[in-house]
Structure 1
Amino acid sequence: MTRYRYAMPRKARPAPVWAGMALLCGLVAAPAGALTLEFPGPATPAATQRANGASYPLPTARWEKSGLPTKLIEGTVERTAWHVDAPKLSSLDLMKPLRAQIINAGFQPVFECETEGCGGFDFRFATEVMAEPDMHVDLGDFRFLSAQRQGAAGIEAIGLLVSRSASKGFVQITRAVADDGPPMFAATNKVGTGLAPASGDTVTLATSNRPPLLPSKNSGVARLVTGGAVVLEGLDFGTGSTELTEGRYDSLAALARWLTENPDKTVALVGHTDASGGLDANITISKRRAASVRARLIQAYGIPAAQIEAQGVGYLSPIDSNLTEEGRQKNRRVEAILTSTQ
């Protein structure tokens, strides 16, 4: 098998679009710390993220109901996604040569798995994955490897995730190098109670858990009556998550007002996905997102649980083409459907 390799020379010049590259070197000061990987096919870098003073929860075992076991590496974190032009290669074909090179570089495997052995879609959504279209994960065909070695500055860890589509392979490599010394402080996103400001100080309390203000009646929720369904616009589940993020959602506020004003009416919240991945997994994801929206309506607005249900149909009811990213984004949605017949 021909492998493709690219290492940046001392005088940098543009990389050919087909090439691999010296992956994530520069995270450690010593030249020996550089890591160069060769791909099993023509590879194009899609996106790179780098942060100092960051942290990476390195997966150390399969996902269980209690969550994903991880080891936190704090320091410098760099993540790169690659597209590999190798339509005939399986996810195993993509993983094997990269895994061998990582081990040959002195890394010791911590955990490795394939799809269901990882924990299926739960693992995918519990670990950190770059957004589409930079990184694509087929929920029925992906592989993961975590490995670490002792470096001059501390523990150096790698998380390698591979998957594929019908036309190409996808590789995401996360590399983290631990810094010396503890962080200066830590904080959580929990709202504190019983905290009084010092004399002369001003404190602004967090409001993320408060229900947003209700908008005017001039909203698209009227289509529940005229058309039987309405797309809940602007919902944000975060990258790779099925939980609705905190924030003000006018579409939810409008729906909550309508349900409050019409207590005899019932609706179904129906989640939809694009066509990436298998049907069963997408149905589960879409139902979980609908359930998250239902929980927000119940908890934040006091809507009776009997008035709303949550369902998911995966990719079975698209409203746009799945052949474009714009179309796939439109297909990923939650709709409110009127289920009352009188």
Structure 2
Amino acid sequence: MVGLVLACWCFGTTVNALTLEFPGPATPTASPAMARGSYALPNAAWANGALSVTVIDGMVERSAWQVDAPGLSSLDLMQPLRAQLLAMGFEVVFDCETKGCGGFDFRFAVDVLPEPQMHVDLGDFRFLSVERKVGAGREVVGLMVSRSASKGFVQMTRAVADAGPALFAATNKASGGIEQIAGAEGTALVAPNAAAINSDMGRLVTGGAVVLEGLDFGTGAADLTEGRYASLAALAEWLKQNPDKTVALVGHTDASGGLEGNIVISKRRAASVRARLIDAYGVPTAQIEAQGVGYLSPIASNLTEEGRQKNRRVEAILTSTQ
């Protein structure tokens, strides 16, 4: 058995290091990289065109290993890691194998590092979500395991929730056409007032689609960064006011890179927006789905940086027919 140690974090919440033993010689392919951000932890299988997730805001760490274990199955790789996490006090949130996870759709909806850091065989992978309490917050781990003909591959994404920075400082007055409203567990959300909502969402009704402005995914990333977005607040409020209406969140990219990879990242970005609308704004899951079309529907020229920036977007498309 080979031991791997994940770092200790001390950002307001003290978290002990995780030491995992692998069933064979393990070589890191992606060194643990810590950053403050959000992690969409899968909590159920892919179903009805979307992945159900719980978004954890705080410190996020991603790491991956290649395991020299030619005779071991993906189950053989997962079982000892699962047992160790449970022994550390984690509880299972979701545990699945290939088809039970949702197959191809699940694999491309979850946060997976690119080749060669992490290899996932679409016909043979396992995923595990676990969580445990840490002080007043919680710590979660998403574990993806797969293999090639001679090697095993493991990716661990670990996140520790925290309260985050204050949304407002030295003020209790909203301005600029926004209002403060009460969110889940008392979190302050920023929402446009009624006039702003009608103006922004009017294009959704009359034109069938609206670009969700101001979204930030970070360079080359698929997860929506922390923060409160006025465009999401407006869409959430409109959906609450119109419970009979449904929308599709459609991710778009510029034309850099291949189509398949761009479709994957565009769909993951749309899924990240969907997860934020559900978890932070309380939008019913049945009202929103997530899709991605890569670079197939530009709104500007890909020959300029300005045009490429405009093409990298997520749109809300009205899918109701009545």
C-alpha separation between the residues in 1 aligned to 2:252 and 2:133? 46
Judge conservation of contact 1:84–1:168 (CA < 8 Å) in 2: yes
Q: Which amino acid aligns with 2:129?
A: S
Matched, 1:166 2:146: no
Offset, 1:49: 4.9
Deviations 1:159-218 (A, max 9, x none): 01000001100000111001135663889x8227xx9xxxxxxxxxxxxx9999xxxxxx
C-alpha separation between the residues in 2 aligned to 1:240 and 1:148? 30
Number of matched pairs = 205
Structure 1 pair 50–115 and aligned structure 2 pair: CA distance change class (3 A) = same
Taking the TM superposition and a 5 Å limit, the aligned residue runs for 1:251-290 are none
Taking the TM superposition and a 5 Å limit, the aligned residue runs for 1:64-213 are 64-152=47-135, 154-181=137-164, 184=167, 190-191=212-213
Judge conservation of contact 1:47–1:81 (CA < 8 Å) in 2: yes
Structure 1 pair 66–240 and aligned structure 2 pair: CA distance change class (3 A) = closer
SS in 1 for 2:21: coil
1:36 aligned residue (8, 15, 19)? 19
SS in 1 for 2:30: strand
C-alpha separation between the residues in 1 aligned to 2:252 and 2:147? 41
Deviations 1:96-151 (A, max 9, x none): 00000000000000000000000001001100000100000000000000000001
Judge conservation of contact 1:125–1:240 (CA < 8 Å) in 2: no
Q: Which amino acid aligns with 2:68?
A: D
Percent identity of equivalent pairs: 52
Offset, 1:34: 1.9
Structure 1 pair 45–240 and aligned structure 2 pair: CA distance change class (3 A) = farther
Judge conservation of contact 1:45–1:83 (CA < 8 Å) in 2: yes
Matched, 1:241 2:240: no
Q: Which amino acid aligns with 1:296?
A: S
Structure 1 pair 91–84 and aligned structure 2 pair: CA distance change class (3 A) = same
The answer for the alignment partner of 2:42 in structure 1 is 59
Offset, 1:235: 3.6
TM-score (norm. length: structure 2): 0.55
C-alpha separation between the residues in 2 aligned to 1:167 and 1:74? 37
C-alpha separation between the residues in 2 aligned to 1:126 and 1:210? 15
The answer for the alignment partner of 1:26 in structure 2 is 8
SS in 2 for 1:139: coil
Structure 1 pair 125–172 and aligned structure 2 pair: CA distance change class (3 A) = same
CA RMSD after TM alignment: 3.7
C-alpha separation between the residues in 2 aligned to 1:210 and 1:172? 27
Q: Which has the larger radius of gyration?
A: 1
The structure with more strand, counted as a fraction of residues: 2
The answer for the alignment partner of 1:296 in structure 2 is 297
Q: Which amino acid aligns with 1:36?
A: T
The answer for the alignment partner of 2:2 in structure 1 is 4
C-alpha separation between the residues in 2 aligned to 1:133 and 1:292? 22
Judge conservation of contact 2:253–2:262 (CA < 8 Å) in 1: no
C-alpha separation between the residues in 1 aligned to 2:142 and 2:253? 38
Deviations 1:196-250 (A, max 9, x none): xxxxxxxxxxxxx9999xxxxxxxxxxxxxxxxxxx984465578164999xxxx
* Unaligned segments of structure 2, at least 5 residues: 169-188, 191-210, 215-229, 231-250, 270-290, 302-322
TM-score (norm. length: structure 1): 0.52
The answer for the alignment partner of 2:28 in structure 1 is 45
C-alpha separation between the residues in 2 aligned to 1:210 and 1:71? 23
Judge conservation of contact 2:34–2:62 (CA < 8 Å) in 1: no
Structure 1 pair 53–184 and aligned structure 2 pair: CA distance change class (3 A) = farther
Deviations 1:265-324 (A, max 9, x none): xxxxxxxxxxxxxxxxxxxxxxx99x755x427x779xxxxxxxxxxxxxxxxxxxxxxx
The answer for the alignment partner of 1:274 in structure 2 is none
Structure 1 pair 245–165 and aligned structure 2 pair: CA distance change class (3 A) = closer
Deviates more, 1:108-117 or 1:178-187: 178-187
Structure 1 pair 237–153 and aligned structure 2 pair: CA distance change class (3 A) = farther
Q: Which has the higher contact order (CA 8 A, sep 6+)?
A: 2
Judge conservation of contact 1:210–1:300 (CA < 8 Å) in 2: no
C-alpha separation between the residues in 2 aligned to 1:119 and 1:144? 11
